[in-house]
Structure 1
Amino acid sequence: MQTLSIKKAVLAAVALLVLSFPSQGQTALTIDKALDIAEEHSPTLRSSHMSLDRYQQLLIAQKASLKSRFSLTLDPISYQKPRRFDNRVSTWYTNELFNSAGTFRVDQPILWTDGTISLVNTFGWQSNNTNQSGSEYKNKAFSNDLRLQLNQPIFTYNTRKMELKQIEFDYENANINYALQRLQTERQITNQFYTVYMAQNNLAISREELQNAQQSFDIIKNKVEADLSAKDELFQAELNLATARSTVEERQVSLENAKDNLKQMLGMDLNEDIIAYADIKITPVNINVEKAITHGLETRLELRQREIDCKLGEFEMTRVKALNEFKGDITLSFGLMGDNRHLEDIYQNPTQDPRVAISFNVPIFDWGEKKARIRAQKTAQKINELNFQNEKIDIELNIRQTIRSLENLRRQITIAEQNVKNAQLTYDLNLERYRNGDLTGMEMSQFQTQLSNKKISYSQTLINYKIELLNLKILSLYDFEKDIPLTPITNKIAAK
């Protein structure tokens, strides 16, 4: 009952502050509503979401690049009349050529082999006149070249497959960054929200202190006028009253600054007035240390990021090993060529056009470049592995420290409750002594300050417990208040 009465007293002080604010044009905020506003308007979250969307579009583009590509190249008109020398017969000739052509092409990348299979069809018409040594040769005909060809690299890594996997990792990493940013934003907004709440609470306490100072001033003023107290007591009461007014003004400024910081974080209009509503009463939570650590190590997204870094390091090692490597290319092609002055007879006498080509790139000497780059990349991979292990240690360490802090805060809350009760009783007793002239204004001011500080300390301890409980939820990805695992919102890698 005593604990409940103290909590009611704190909430009553905040309610007094709420009633003193004009309600018209004022936005009431709870922590849940603040988080909802941030989800839509927070500049930090919006930027993180844009980055996520960028990588999603890159993944969609990469997958689209693996599908068949259709292209059409048109050369409607081409005319030339050059003068050339024919080495075969050692004579000059003039060639007049007018043609029109178009090429339709279908290229299909092969993901599993990194090759490309293509179907190419070139259709055209030409008029060719050649004048050589007084003789004139003419030809007008349609032509069509249909060709199926395969280009396949050999003795090297699959670049297409690696690029696709790397973009998938980039997109997953962007998802993780977005989820982590949401958790970080929740922590930041919660801290700033309670900063506003405490500023409101402090202002309410300072106004209560101002009322008490005014009451004390009226008491001593009446006594001085009745020659029951010395004038120096009135001077002290005036000083206490002025100090109380100054404190109210100072805390009003602190409140407005805290509101502006919260509005900026939420992406709200700075001219919009807000007021924070919060229920800071707490229910002690029993926390299983081993469960928190185990769940954190199994689900923390930062660990997945370190795993992705290791995978990307393996990709980079593959690229480094491919520097100055022995590799080759195979080109296979089979074509069917036809030409005739009559379009319908274009394939009357077709000509087959098979082609086979194999080429190799044989490195000889690179002055140790490849070996040095491989050693450098191996060091980078060891660094990634070390970061992964350190991340696991940091997670366990932070969870342990947060749980210890929660246990300490629970004890502090009990002490703070008793301190508020004792300070209130002390103030009430000494107020009666002050009225009877047994205490000076200076001494009464000290009791008032003590009561105000104990109230502020109690409220801050409650808020610290709630914030530390949120920190544990983020660190372990487990909500011990609701006894459920926490699943950060991430988008699946399912770019259609």
Structure 2
Amino acid sequence: MVIALSMTAGAQTQVKEHRRSITLDEAIVIARTQSVDAAVALNELKTAYWEYRTFRANLLPEMNLKATLPSYNKKYNSYQQEDGTYTYVRNNNLQMSGELSIDQSIWFTGGTLSLNSSLDFLKQLDGDKSKRYMSVPIALTLNQPIFGVNNIKWDRRIEPVRYAEAKASFLSATENVTRTTINYFFNLLLAKENVNIARQNLENAQKLHEVAKAKRSMGQISENDLLQLELNVLDARSTLTDNESTLKSRMFQLRSFLALSEDEDLEPVVPESIPSVLLNYDDVLDKALTNNSFAQNIRRRQLEADYEVAKAKGDLREITLYAQVGFTGTNNELNTVYHNLKDNQIVEVGFKIPILDWGKRRGKVKIAKSNRDVVESRLRQETMNFNQDLFILVEQFNNQQMQLQIANEADKIAEKRYNTNVETFMIGKISTLDLNDSQLKKDEARQKHINELYAYWSYYYQIRSLTLWDFTDNTGIDADFEKIIKQ
């Protein structure tokens, strides 16, 4: 169901060379593609996307090649002799080395598993000028923290939520761009209408003044009424000048936001219809808690607080297991360096357990738990505020449709009353005070109608931004994020 709304403009504005009519829907489309706010929202989404891609890449195997080609040394090095004394010997050699490694994080334990292969070459440039090769065909290394916090496991919990929050924030930011557009659009529309009203009032005031001068010459009205009508003409000219200045300011504001050329004279078109929907608070709240970035933000902050507690507890006992198994060989020739491989095995367990730290680490656990309690209290309060603000917003929106209908009827009645009073004044049945009052009421009714129309659209898109739901089509607001990011 669509409720039709119409408003008659006042006097026609002057036509300019680059005059352009623009509807609210057109302004919204332009803002979502060209405005600075839309560009900022897109860049924030891209940042979040690549942060998430980086997190995902950290879970995959990583291959690295490290090489030294070459390392030349010609210097004296200290050397301890059999009698315990030191002397310096000349060292002149050329070294080259290369190592290929594949590293894989183990998310369920928090450790790192590495597969390595290396080859080293050493050639003496003095003396017998011998050369030597050393190979490690394969070595498997495990680095595993014991009792500590599993950072990878916590990242797997937190980072997807963070990215989901960023995607929801982008959609909400897009809706907020729409809200800003609505604000600027209706500011321009109201300024345009005020100019039309002021021109119509000036035209009417001039006509009434001419009629009053004729009546005064015939003694039908007082000098006071004539002077009052003359003042009305001056006031109408002053009001028109002020409104034209405001119109230029509002025009520049909207053009700047939409990134349009400054030589375009925008002619805003009053929306002909509004979506007629009646919202249920429980339904709106359910959609908001499901889709809005606020829900993801609450979940992420709770997880981060839990992570800090787990990290503090893990730091109470620091034990790291390091183990390596592999083979190595050495020879003077490259083609035999992989023969007769010797067993190369390393098993190392290192730990550092605080025996007496005066409660420092347990104190950190207490601090982390206290901080988590603070976060949980804040989250509960923010959730209550969010629900309350949403309830008020839904009530305001549901009430706004009736307010808009009332404003529409009042605008028509005030316009009709003013026209009637003008005719009545022409035959001398009412005073200038009554005429001025009807003009004031007419102007106020027209302005209120536009303001109520603006409030309706503002409430509607504010609820859309919070729920990420299109209540007109009854569908969710989503986007192809991969396509958007690759634009």
Please report the TM-score for the alignment, with normalisation by the length of structure 1: 0.85
Shift of the 399–280 alpha-carbon distance from structure 1 to 2, 3 Å rule, reads farther
Unaligned runs of 5+ residues in structure 1 are: 131-137
State the shift of 1:293 in Å: 3.3
State the shift of 1:466 in Å: 3.2
Query: Residue 153 of structure 1 aligns to which amino acid in structure 2?
Result: Q
- The SS at the match of 1:209 is helix
* Residue of structure 2 in register with 1:487 after alignment: 477
- Provide the C-alpha distance between the structure 1 equivalents of 2:317 and 2:130, rounded to a whole number of angstroms: 50
Shift of the 480–64 alpha-carbon distance from structure 1 to 2, 3 Å rule, reads closer
Q: How does 1:305-344 map to 2 (within 5 A)?
A: 305-340=297-332, 342-344=333-335
- The SS at the match of 1:122 is strand
Contact 1:179 1:490 in 2 (8 A): no
* Residue of structure 1 in register with 2:292 after alignment: 300
* Residue of structure 2 in register with 1:134 after alignment: none
Q: How does 1:253-272 map to 2 (within 5 A)?
A: 253-270=245-262, 272=264
Shift of the 125–284 alpha-carbon distance from structure 1 to 2, 3 Å rule, reads closer
| Deviations 1:300-342 (CA, angstroms, capped at 9, x unpaired) | 33112101111122222222223352312222132221212x4
| Deviations 1:180-228 (CA, angstroms, capped at 9, x unpaired) | 2122222222222122212222222222212211211121122234454
- Provide the C-alpha distance between the structure 2 equivalents of 1:251 and 1:357, rounded to a whole number of angstroms: 83
| Deviations 1:25-59 (CA, angstroms, capped at 9, x unpaired) | 23432222222222222222322321221232233
Contact 2:184 2:254 in 1 (8 A): yes
* Residue of structure 1 in register with 2:431 after alignment: 440
- Provide the C-alpha distance between the structure 1 equivalents of 2:485 and 2:443, rounded to a whole number of angstroms: 58
- The SS at the match of 2:21 is strand
* Residue of structure 1 in register with 2:194 after alignment: 202
Shift of the 490–316 alpha-carbon distance from structure 1 to 2, 3 Å rule, reads farther
State the shift of 1:446 in Å: 2.3
Q: How does 1:49-88 map to 2 (within 5 A)?
A: 49-65=42-58, 66-82=60-76, 84-88=78-82
Shift of the 163–480 alpha-carbon distance from structure 1 to 2, 3 Å rule, reads closer
Q: How does 1:72-471 map to 2 (within 5 A)?
A: 72-82=66-76, 84-90=78-84, 92=87, 94-112=89-107, 113=109, 114-127=111-124, 138=128, 140-146=130-136, 147-155=138-146, 156-163=148-155, 165-270=157-262, 272-282=264-274, 284-340=276-332, 342-347=333-338, 349-471=340-462
Shift of the 85–281 alpha-carbon distance from structure 1 to 2, 3 Å rule, reads closer
Shift of the 369–28 alpha-carbon distance from structure 1 to 2, 3 Å rule, reads farther
Relative to structure 2, which stretch is displaced further, 456-465 or 84-93? Answer: 84-93
Shift of the 140–191 alpha-carbon distance from structure 1 to 2, 3 Å rule, reads same
Shift of the 89–116 alpha-carbon distance from structure 1 to 2, 3 Å rule, reads same
- Provide the C-alpha distance between the structure 1 equivalents of 2:484 and 2:28, rounded to a whole number of angstroms: 27
State the shift of 1:418 in Å: 4.3
Contact 1:118 1:149 in 2 (8 A): yes
* Residue of structure 2 in register with 1:48 after alignment: 41
Shift of the 326–409 alpha-carbon distance from structure 1 to 2, 3 Å rule, reads closer
State the shift of 1:494 in Å: 13
Shift of the 142–26 alpha-carbon distance from structure 1 to 2, 3 Å rule, reads farther
Shift of the 84–229 alpha-carbon distance from structure 1 to 2, 3 Å rule, reads closer
- Of 21, 29, 33, 2:26 maps to 33
Shift of the 27–116 alpha-carbon distance from structure 1 to 2, 3 Å rule, reads farther
Query: Residue 234 of structure 2 aligns to which amino acid in structure 1?
Result: A
Unaligned runs of 5+ residues in structure 2 are: none
Contact 1:69 1:106 in 2 (8 A): yes
- The SS at the match of 1:401 is helix
- The SS at the match of 1:119 is strand
State the shift of 1:272 in Å: 4.1
Contact 1:202 1:251 in 2 (8 A): yes
- Provide the C-alpha distance between the structure 1 equivalents of 2:114 and 2:163, rounded to a whole number of angstroms: 29
State the shift of 1:271 in Å: 5.2
Query: Residue 50 of structure 2 aligns to which amino acid in structure 1?
Result: Q
Query: Residue 135 of structure 2 aligns to which amino acid in structure 1?
Result: D
- Provide the C-alpha distance between the structure 2 equivalents of 1:494 and 1:232, rounded to a whole number of angstroms: 69
Query: Residue 311 of structure 1 aligns to which amino acid in structure 2?
Result: L
- The SS at the match of 1:22 is coil
- Provide the C-alpha distance between the structure 1 equivalents of 2:61 and 2:360, rounded to a whole number of angstroms: 37
User: How many residues get paired?
Assistant: 478
Please report the TM-score for the alignment, with normalisation by the length of structure 2: 0.86
1:13 paired with 2:5, answer no
